[in-house]
Amino acid sequence: MDAGDIIVGLVVAAALSFDFTNGFHDTANAMATTIATGALKPRMAVTLAAILNFVGAFISLKVAATVAGGIVDAGAITPVVVFGGLVGAICWNLATWWYGLPSSSSHALIGGVVGATIAAAGSSAVKFDGLLSKVIVPAIASPVLAGIVAAIGVFLVYRMIRGYSTVRSEREFRWGQVGSSSMVALAHGTNDAQKTMGVISLALIANGSISGGADFHVPDWVVVSCATAIALGTYVGGWRIIKTLGTKVVEVRPPQGFGSETVAATVILASSHVGYPLSTTQVVSGAVAGSGVGRPGAVVNWLIARNIVIGWLLTLPAAAGVGALSYAVVDVLGGSAFGVIVVSVAMVVGALLLWRANRAKPIEPEETISEHPAFGQAPAPEAIAA
């Protein structure tokens, strides 16, 4: 085993760690509204999301051959650059999870790779036109679009059912909510697990472990390990973000939850159909806020929404900064396997400290249920107060 094999091994480990954080960071996208209304119990919801993410990873295997393709110069990407990008993305995912902010894991990965690329080859290796057209413009357009469509759709649904008691009409939406959330979970598995498969494949091609030519195919172990990592992450459940999205942005009622998840699934799939990449997190967050605007009497907490948007604005530069720093540390240590090991150990220590801090002040699954759930029992008052 030479230094290249060790670096690739650590890149694979970092990629699977990123996939895991992607899973628990994005569980909220599919299940926050379903849990909040009580349509599914928290553990049942994350189990369903985990299974669908796992299945979704196998649905389509059209993996991108390059990381951040069209955004950075392909010639500048080396396994160490990819590693730096992954470290940047993982750190940003963990930081935003700690603060309960739903932010895009894909944008974090792109930001990390851009930062590491700048550190490795200078800013000329970054295609800023591509960054603007493939990341920034969709990042602005997608939550706005999802929000407007969700607001109109939910408003119309509430107009239709206004003659009936809230309790009766809301109960009819329970299984619709479960179905629409399931679609988002499936779409998430299809989109996000493949990004990690692309990262690992790229590292393997760069190391000469697999062929990148016409006979390129993703090794089975890569597919299975990526599907497993994202499913495990989803099952762990990022309760902090689930609580924010399900209970803090707006009090979610079943027609709203159904509306926001349906619109989110539609926007994600329509964009996928026309080849426009979108962030699942941003689409769902926009749809949840929009559904609050559309429901008569609902009050959107714009302060929380503002914090989420600030998180989105910081994603690219913050992940890029950590990605660049990681690359620089490895470079200072000789650009060898030793440097990669040092950064990996530092990241593991940081993650363990955060895990300890979370155990001291955990968010319990019951805390992610709305104060007035449509189904099941309301959480204990102390859980709501937390």
Partner 1 sequence: MIFAVDIDWASLLEAAYISAAFGIGVLLVAGVAVLASLQAQDRAKAHQGGAMALHVLTGVCVLAIVAAVLLGIAVMINK
- Footprint of partner 1 (CB under 8 A): 56, 59-60, 62, 129, 132-133, 137-138, 141, 145-146, 148-150, 152-154, 156-157, 160-161, 164, 168-169, 172-173, 176, 179, 183, 186-187, 190, 258-259, 262-263, 265-267, 269-276, 278
Task: For residues 188 and 386, give the distance between their C-alpha atoms in angstroms, rounded to a whole number.
Answer: 29
Closer CB to partner 1, 191 or 228, in the complex? 191
Compute the least distance from the CB of residue 24 to partner 1, in Å: 22
Q: Is 164 helix (H, G, I), strand (E, B) or coil?
A: coil
Task: For residues 65 and 197, give the distance between their C-alpha atoms in angstroms, rounded to a whole number.
Answer: 9
Closer CB to partner 1, 179 or 219, in the complex? 179
- Which sign does the torsion angle of CA 305, 108, 265, 46 carry? negative
With residue 71 as reference, give the H or E element that holds it: none
Closer CB to partner 1, 179 or 335, in the complex? 179
Compute the least distance from the CB of residue 127 to partner 1, in Å: 10
Token look-up 């407007």 returns 148
Compute the least distance from the CB of residue 332 to partner 1, in Å: 35
Residue 205: name the closest of 65, 7, 15, 86 by CA: 65
List of residues 6+ apart from 253 with CB closer than 8 A:
37, 166, 170, 295, 298, 374
Q: Could you tell me the two tokens for 105?
A: 């894991």
Compute the least distance from the CB of residue 260 to partner 1, in Å: 10
Closer CB to partner 1, 51 or 341, in the complex? 51
6-28 burial, b at 16+ Cβ within 10 Å, e below that, comes to: ebbebbbebbbbbbbbbbbbbbb
Task: For residues 109 and 127, give the distance between their C-alpha atoms in angstroms, rounded to a whole number.
Answer: 16
Closer CB to partner 1, 55 or 76, in the complex? 55
Token look-up 């759709």 returns 153
Closer CB to partner 1, 77 or 184, in the complex? 184
Q: Is 299 helix (H, G, I), strand (E, B) or coil?
A: coil
Closer CB to partner 1, 261 or 366, in the complex? 261
Compute the least distance from the CB of residue 3 to partner 1, in Å: 37
Question: Which of left, alpha, beta for 342 (phi over 0: left; psi -120 to 50: alpha)?
Answer: alpha
126: which strand partners? Answer: 72
Compute the least distance from the CB of residue 164 to partner 1, in Å: 5
Compute the least distance from the CB of residue 187 to partner 1, in Å: 6
Closer CB to partner 1, 178 or 340, in the complex? 178
Closer CB to partner 1, 62 or 361, in the complex? 62
DSSP state string for 343-354: HHHHHHHHHHHH
Compute the least distance from the CB of residue 317 to partner 1, in Å: 19
Compute the least distance from the CB of residue 266 to partner 1, in Å: 4
Closer CB to partner 1, 57 or 203, in the complex? 57
Residue 265: name the closest of 135, 146, 154 by CA: 146
Compute the least distance from the CB of residue 147 to partner 1, in Å: 11
Asked if 65 contacts 212 with a C-beta cutoff of 8 angstroms, the reply is yes
Residue 370: name the closest of 235, 253, 260, 256 by CA: 253
Task: For residues 307 and 305, give the distance between their C-alpha atoms in angstroms, rounded to a whole number.
Answer: 5
